[in-house]
Structure 1
Amino acid sequence: MFSGFGFIEGTSTEYEWILNCLKEKCEEFRELIKSNQIRSIDANDISGGKGFISKVYKVDITFDHFDTKPFEFIVKIPGLESLNQVLEEEHFPKHHEPNKEQENNGMQLLANIHNNEVKFYQLYSTIPNLKLLKVYGSRQWVINKQEGALIMAYSGQESFSIPLHESMNFEQMSHLIDQIFCLQTYFLLLPDQTWKETFVFPFSPDHLDGMTKLIQHNWNIVKNFVNEEVYVDISDHIDNLISNFKNICTYNTNILINKPHNTKVFVHGDLYMNNILYGKFGNDQQEENDLRIVDWQLVHAGNIGSDIARSLLTGTSPQLRHKMEESILPKFYHNIVLKATAHQVKFEMSWEMFKENYNCHFVEQSLHFLMVVAFTMHQINTSKDSQQLLEIKKKAVGMKLCTGLRDAIAICKKFNQTWISDQH
């Protein structure tokens, strides 16, 4: 029988801590161990495509009664191994080896991001109608002292996320927009607004410099698998947009958000399709394609247009996105005004300010889209598809991306031409 001691291989996360968390937080597990003894615990690394700044382990607990179904769950442990592997395999150039201070700063950023997610789950895992996976345990990462970890429900073999080369349909995206509305209005209506100081934007200007290099590298990759006529007429504007990435982010984070009558909302920060799971979750769920939102590491008090722009840009076809921008955005704004008014909460944002928020963040998100391309290409390249199918998938991602960049440039031409101007 299992002794109750030991660690997940290659980590310092103890099985004893995991079992104690399950006993405390998971009723199903408590019922199982009333009539069963644990025979074994097996943890398998399933990180490929499921996390780039974390290792994701699927853990199976088997019992002495062989007719008892194994208990399955997920343990997520933060670290740079998966990210570094992708960057190496996708040939991202290293300009120089980081010194000790830079390494420590990078690790601290990663720890802060993980601890942000831990804090979110500890404080807000029971928001009404917000679709989350159950969390059975969490531990903050204290560098050189304690490894961070999250213990979460397993979403099941049948759960899936829609790959980036495909797109959500109207119903799926509408459901996701409803979740963004649920998240934003919950925090807007809270009597205690200290969450705005608790959850802050995690990246500094120095981090944005490194992101710019990654975006430029990824754009060079994209140009290798999309037809030149798709982007040739806007090529200079795209290069200028990339070089202005830091300026765009700084404007949105420090200037736009602080304009009169603008309002900070609670932002997920990484709502693209890899972080939306579909499936049947739990015995009480009847919908086969219910959703769950995962990876809450980048949550922060931010801009009302950020999550919507990222979701629509990466999650829908350009044709559907254009239609939903016309129909969903006014409805979203109108419903927030109604909700705030009904609860006597001050909300002074005009429709024009709401649309400015969306437009400015759409421009920023078009560049963030470029940032995740390396990871998307890694998922496609490591699949077992034929070369012909690989090329079709890459072109589909490239077309969605280039159309987004074209629309971002059109926004800049109308509202802020400096973002597509050569700043050198």
Structure 2
Amino acid sequence: MENTNYGDTVNLDESINGHSFTYGWLLDSLRKNDKIYQKLHGNRGVKAISACDVSGGKGFFSAIHRCIITFTDSNKNSDTDYYSTILKIPGFTSFQEAQSQSDIPKELLDKSIKEKCENMHKFECNFYNGISQILDAPVPIVYKTVEWILEKQEGCIHMEDLTLRAKTISFFDNINLTHVKFFIQCLTKMHKNILFVNPKVWKGKFVQGQNCYVDFFDMYESGYETFLKRNKNYGNFFGTLKFDLLFKFSKKILN
């Protein structure tokens, strides 16, 4: 019989940073779907949960909330007895905030763009739920996904926290031959696995998203002149004509 009396003292009905998802929803997902949480903290009561949006400046169409869970029986002197997990919640708050601080007069976030973002979330959920296990690639473990329905229901991807064992490589980071070889090995295994599985699992199911960045080109175009004028090298290295030709050429190639 499943044990549901954990002795939680945290308010299970409290919202996670103003979203429709609550602490109770998060703990229920962890206790049912996260095998590592089940093994390490399965029957422990939860004292508190702190959620911090760590996506600031790194994404426009989703918020990444790192949720840190502490327990009722934790040693007061211990600063390592906690568990962290990630909620990725799609939305337009960051994009709207960025546009409000820009010089672009045109409203960029129209119905078409919103629907494309909704579909991108759908494809991402389908990938994690049906394809990632087949690929056997180094991707985050996803515990639960929720469909995003515009104006009706918030979407969500609940996944493992990779903070302590992964990093995002920046533009200025170098890679070495070992990194390149490992990437090629992973890519080879991914292609092998997908080719050996029944094509009905994947064929034709993810093609709608292949032109997503091309669909956003008109939106990007409305802001590049403002970017050039703010760039200290405007008129020197990046002339308006050169940038305009490069932009149009890229758009033509991608189309």
- TM-score by structure 2 length? 0.79
- Tell me, yes or no, if the aligned pair for 1:209 and 1:246 is still in contact at 8 Å: no
Q: Gaps (5+ residues) in structure 1?
A: 251-424
Instruction: Tell whether 2:223 aligns with 1:211.
Output: no
Instruction: Tell whether 2:95 aligns with 1:83.
Output: yes
Matches within 5 A, 1:202-241: 202=209, 203=211, 207-214=216-223, 217-218=226-227, 220=228, 224-225=232-233, 228=236, 238-241=243-246
1:157 offset after TM fit, Å? 4.2
AA in 2 matched with 1:31? K
Matches within 5 A, 1:302-341: none
Q: What residue in structure 2 maps to residue 60 of structure 1?
A: 68
Question: C-alpha distance in 2, partners of 1:179/1:146?
Answer: 36
Question: C-alpha distance in 1, partners of 2:189/2:97?
Answer: 36
Instruction: Tell whether 2:124 aligns with 1:131.
Output: no
1:141 offset after TM fit, Å? 0.4
Instruction: Tell whether 2:101 aligns with 1:96.
Output: no
Aligned identity (percent) is 24
With over 3 angstroms needed to count, the CA separation of the structure-2 counterparts of 1:221 and 1:180, relative to structure 1, is farther
1:244 counterpart SS class? helix
Structure number with higher helix proportion: 1
Question: C-alpha distance in 2, partners of 1:65/1:224?
Answer: 56
1:17 offset after TM fit, Å? 2.3
Structure number with higher relative contact order (C-alpha < 8 Å, ≥ 6 residues apart): 1
With over 3 angstroms needed to count, the CA separation of the structure-2 counterparts of 1:192 and 1:81, relative to structure 1, is same
Residue from 24, 28, 44 that aligns with 2:32: 24
With over 3 angstroms needed to count, the CA separation of the structure-2 counterparts of 1:174 and 1:225, relative to structure 1, is farther
- Tell me, yes or no, if the aligned pair for 2:64 and 2:89 is still in contact at 8 Å: yes
1:247 offset after TM fit, Å? 2.0
Q: Gaps (5+ residues) in structure 2?
A: 1-8
Question: C-alpha distance in 2, partners of 1:77/1:173?
Answer: 32
Matches within 5 A, 1:372-387: none
2:111 counterpart SS class? helix
Question: C-alpha distance in 1, partners of 2:232/2:238?
Answer: 12
2:173 counterpart SS class? coil
Q: What residue in structure 2 maps to residue 14 of structure 1?
A: 22
Residue from 149, 156, 161 that aligns with 1:149: 156
Question: C-alpha distance in 2, partners of 1:162/1:226?
Answer: 28
Q: Deviations over 1:121-174 (max 9, x none)?
A: 010232354001111111110112211011111113464222213332332233
With over 3 angstroms needed to count, the CA separation of the structure-2 counterparts of 1:36 and 1:60, relative to structure 1, is same
1:10 counterpart SS class? coil
Residue from 114, 121, 128 that aligns with 1:107: 114
Question: C-alpha distance in 1, partners of 2:224/2:185?
Answer: 30
RMSD between aligned residues: 3.0
1:116 counterpart SS class? helix
Number of residue pairs aligned between Structure 1 and Structure 2: 241
